Amino acid sequence: MTTAYDDNQIGRARVRDTPELEAYYRELAGLDAGALWTVANDIEPWYPRPKSVPTLWAYDQLRPLVQKALPLVKADDAGRRVVMLTNPGRRDVSAAVGLLYTGLQIMGPGEAMTAHRHQASALRFVLEGSGAWTVVDGQKLKVGPRDFAITPNGTWHEHGNESTVAPCIWQDGLDIPLVNALDAPFYEVHPDLHQVAGDVVNSSVLTYGGTLLPYGAERWSKPYSPLFAFPWEPTYEALLRLARSTEGSPYDGVIMEYTNPLTGGSVMPTMSAHIQLLRGGQATQAHRHTGSVLYTVAQGRGCSVIAGRRFDWQEGDIFCVPSWAWHEHANPDTSENAVLFSFNDFPVMRSLAFWREEAFSESDGRQPLD
Ligand code: GTQ
């Protein structure tokens, strides 16, 4: 009798090696060819089997090492002074999970970096410091703790910190591994090294950051959001308002997507981001879906069970959920909300028709813990 996912059945490759076959494989290899049935079950698994493993990067451990980089390398020599997060299951590419890159970038007081642009899309979530700024295609954005900002693919960008006293640390999220996997990277240094920024700070927030759209907004024809920054206060306010009107999702709590205000779709073609609130005492049900997710704890503390492993988290911690991994979150502290920022590659999954989602069945019981 065969069971589900058993490779020893008709319809799966089940050829056993013989000396004759092994000789044949060597002949094929000599011509840069191979027999599909020797790899078929590996390259067409029954379901996603990511190499990335669930991982948590604790901010209180990483922060001193990020700070250590400040005097060690000049930002202009490093390009960007970033400690990137790597996944223990995937050392082959600079990815924290799946085909998503993330890192912690530190900028000292008064620092300013040169402008560049690339095919990869980038996003920022600010962890600390009040002086950070970035110029995106000539628009100056100022960002503070928990603000979210985007640098869509192909936009010129340069960053800095105008504080006179404190460094700033923000999290970068990029689709670099995806762009590289598709052999589509491009990179340019700005010919003048710096852009000429307009006088109005946060002009995209002033223009598109409300509930109304400016007349003629439909003329924006770029494949990404014209709103480049999402300040924390209105974001958290929106989350609290939603929490007053709904129970939220059984899997994600009260969750909202940062969107392109013109389309209601994701802010960039390859990456989307969410903010979610777990009420005090809330524990979500487990589900899984295709697509990889990187979470950052914006506020509070709690824990998540991911593919059967428990991760306790607190503010500033970053953790990942690989594709198709069961996951559930809990905020056991009954007196405080917990808020998770996250970004993902769902737009890629959706546009390629790869999106699948599944609820953990009650009859399966709870996810086993390690
Ligand atoms: O800010 O442009 O962490 O290009 C990695 C690559 C940041 C950036 C990173 C980048 C950037």
pLDDT digits (tens, 9 = 90+) for 201-212: 999 999 999 999
CB burial of 109-122 (b: ≥16 within 10 Å; e: otherwise) equals: eebebebebbbbbb
- pLDDT exceeds 80 at position 360: yes
- pLDDT exceeds 80 at position 2: no
Among protein residues, the one with the nearest Cα to ligand 1's atom 11 is 80
136-184 pLDDT, tens digit per residue, is: 999 999 999 999 999 999 999 999 999 999 999 999 999 999 999 999 9
Query: Is the CB of residue 107 below 6 angstroms from any atom belonging to ligand 1?
Result: no
239-289 pLDDT, tens digit per residue, is: 999 999 999 999 999 999 999 999 999 999 999 999 999 999 999 999 999
Span 316-321, average pLDDT: 99
Compute the distance from residue 338 Cα to the ligand 1 centre, in Å.
28
> One-letter amino acid identity for 356?
R
- pLDDT exceeds 80 at position 369: no
- pLDDT exceeds 50 at position 9: yes
Mutation pick for ligand 1 pocket among 126, 174, 175, 228 (CB with most ligand atoms within 8 Å):
174
Strands 168-174 and 122-128, bridge-based pairing = antiparallel
| 367 confidence band (pLDDT: 50, 70, 90) | low
Query: Is the CB of residue 174 below 6 angstroms from any atom belonging to ligand 1?
Result: yes
Q: What is the pTM of this model?
A: 0.96
| 370 confidence band (pLDDT: 50, 70, 90) | very low
Atom from ligand 1 closest to the CA of residue 159:
1
Stronger pLDDT, 4 or 325, i.e. the higher one:
325
Q: Which residues contact 200 (CB under 8 A, 6 or more apart)?
A: 139, 140, 206
Query: Is the CB of residue 190 below 6 angstroms from any atom belonging to ligand 1?
Result: no
Query: Is the CB of residue 172 below 6 angstroms from any atom belonging to ligand 1?
Result: yes
Atom from ligand 1 closest to the CA of residue 103:
3
Interior CA angle at 304 toward 300 and 310, to 5°?
125
Compute the distance from residue 212 Cα to the ligand 1 centre, in Å.
32
Query: Is the CB of residue 173 below 6 angstroms from any atom belonging to ligand 1?
Result: no
Compute the distance from residue 301 Cα to the ligand 1 centre, in Å.
28
Q: Which long-range contacts (CB under 8 A, 24 or more apart) does 176-184 make?
A: 176/94, 176/95, 176/101, 176/120, 177/93, 177/94, 177/95, 177/98, 177/99, 177/100, 177/101, 178/99, 178/100, 178/270, 178/345, 178/348, 179/119, 179/120, 180/93, 181/93, 181/99, 184/119
Mutation pick for ligand 1 pocket among 82, 83, 125, 153 (CB with most ligand atoms within 8 Å):
82
Query: Is the CB of residue 367 below 6 angstroms from any atom belonging to ligand 1?
Result: no
- pLDDT exceeds 80 at position 105: yes
Query: Is the CB of residue 122 below 6 angstroms from any atom belonging to ligand 1?
Result: yes
Q: With beta carbons less than 8 A apart as the criterion, state whether 218 and 158 touch.
A: no
**How far is the C-alpha of 342 from the C-alpha of 320, rounded, in Å?**
9
| 19 confidence band (pLDDT: 50, 70, 90) | very high
Query: Is the CB of residue 103 below 6 angstroms from any atom belonging to ligand 1?
Result: yes
**pLDDT for the residue 4:** 79
| 363 confidence band (pLDDT: 50, 70, 90) | low
Which domains, from first to last, does the chain contain?
Answer: 1-46 (no CATH), 56-368 (2.60.120.10)
Task: Give percent of the chain with pLDDT exceeding 90.
Answer: 95
Atom from ligand 1 closest to the CA of residue 116:
2
